[in-house]
Amino acid sequence: MVRLDRITTRGGDRGETSLGDGTRVRKDALRIEAIGRVDEANAAIGLLRLVTAAGERGSDLAQADAMLDRIQHDLFDLGADLCMPVEPDEDPAQRLRIVPAQLERLEAEVAAMNADLPALKSFVLPGGSAASAWAHHARTVARAAERAVVALAGAEPVNADAVRYLNRLSDHLFVLGRWLNGRGASEVLWRPGTNR
C-alpha cells in the first residue's frame, strides 16, 4: 500500500528524482519523460470524466465513465511499470506490469463501441459534444505518451505491453470520441479544401 506523509521532500531540488528501485536519475531522463506523459494522459482523462460522470445510470456517458475509471487505474499501473526498470531475469509476478488482459479489455471495449458506429467516410474533427471533444484531447495526450514510451524503449528495456497498451488506449479514445457523439450521429467530419 502507498503511504505519503510528506509531499515536499526537497529531494528533487537538484534536478533529480528517484525511480521505484531507488535509483536517482535526472528529471529530464527519457524514463521520467515517459512517466510524466502517462501522468498527463491520466489527467486529460480526468477532465473527460468531469463530463462522463454526469451521465445517468445506463447512459452512454455512464458506460464511458466506467471504462475511463478502469483506464485511469491502468495508467497508474503503467506509471508503476515504467518506474521500475525491466530486469533481464525478473519474476513477472514480483512486479506490477501491464499485462495482456488489460490490452484485451481495451480491445473488447473498442470492438463493442465500434459495432454501434457507422463506417467512417472521412476523417473526424475533434468536437461535436463536450465529451467527444475531451475524448479527442485525451487521445492526443495518450499519443504523446506513447511516443515518449517508444523513445524510452529505443534506449533501454521496457515492458512491450506498456507500449501496446498506449497504442490501444489511443484507439479506444478515438472510438470513444465518436461513440460519445450520439454514436456517430453528431460527429464533425473533415471537409478537405473547404476554405481554399
Render pLDDT for 103-144 as a digit per residue (tens, 0 to 9).
Answer: 999 999 999 999 999 998 889 999 999 999 999 999 999 999
Q: And the C-alpha cell for 182?
A: 450520439
Query: pTM for this structure?
Result: 0.90
Q: From residue 37, how far is each of 82, 87, 140 by CA, in Å?
A: 11, 23, 11
The pLDDT-based confidence of 19 (bands split at 50, 70, 90) is confident
Burial profile 71-84: b = 16 or more Cβ within 10 angstroms, e = fewer: bbebbebbbbbbbb
- Cell numbers at 179, concatenated: 461513440
- Is residue 110 within 8 A of residue 167, CB to CB? The reply is no
Q: How confident is the model at residue 89 (pLDDT cuts 50, 70, 90)?
A: confident
Does the domain at residues 25-186 carry the CATH identifier 1.20.1200.10?
yes
